Amino acid sequence: EAGVTQFPSHSVIEKGQTVTLRCDPISGHDNLYWYRRVMGKEIKFLLHFVKESKQDESGMPNNRFLAERTGGTYSTLKVQPAELEDSGVYFCASSRRHPDTQYFGPGTRLTVL
């Protein structure tokens, strides 16, 4: 069984640009989560999808962040426009049921210059 995959692994952009991160969950996992870790801080929850619906987006920092999960399969997280403080590692996780163990992807390291 393939694990959670994320693309790209690294992204370096300039302030004001747009970046889109992609996450492919484990096949059959209806629950998909986005987390991020900024430098020196804990991993923080961003949002939770159940299939294509946003179950909880309480962790989204502001309206520059837009997450989608069309068709209930892969998800994208767009940051537009990116700011310096958005730099960090963005993790995606998935689980089969709610609640259930979450399996994490390798993360996307985002650097905003």
Partner 1 sequence: QKEVEQNSGPLSVPEGAIASLNCTYSDRGSQSFFWYRQYSGKSPELIMFIYSNGDKEDGRFTAQLNKASQYVSLLIRDSQPSDSATYLCAVNMWNAGNMLTFGGGTRLMVKP
- Tell me which residues touch partner 1 (CB under 8 A): 3-4, 31, 33, 35, 41-45, 48, 55-56, 58-59, 91, 95, 98-107
Instruction: Specify the residue, 58 or 63, whose C-beta has the smaller distance to partner 1.
Output: 58
Place of tokens 């961003």: 46
Q: How far is the CB of 87 from partner 1 (least distance, A)?
A: 16
Q: Which DSSP string corresponds to 42-60? A: --EEEEEEETTEEEE-TT-
Shortest distance, position 16 Cβ to partner 1, whole Å? 28
- With respect to partner 1, which residue has the nearer C-beta, 1 or 42? 42
Buried b (16+ CB within 10 A) or exposed e, 74-101: bbebebeebeeebbbbbbbbbbeeeeee
Q: What is the DSSP letter of 85?
A: G
* Residue 81 vs 96, nearer CB to partner 1: 96
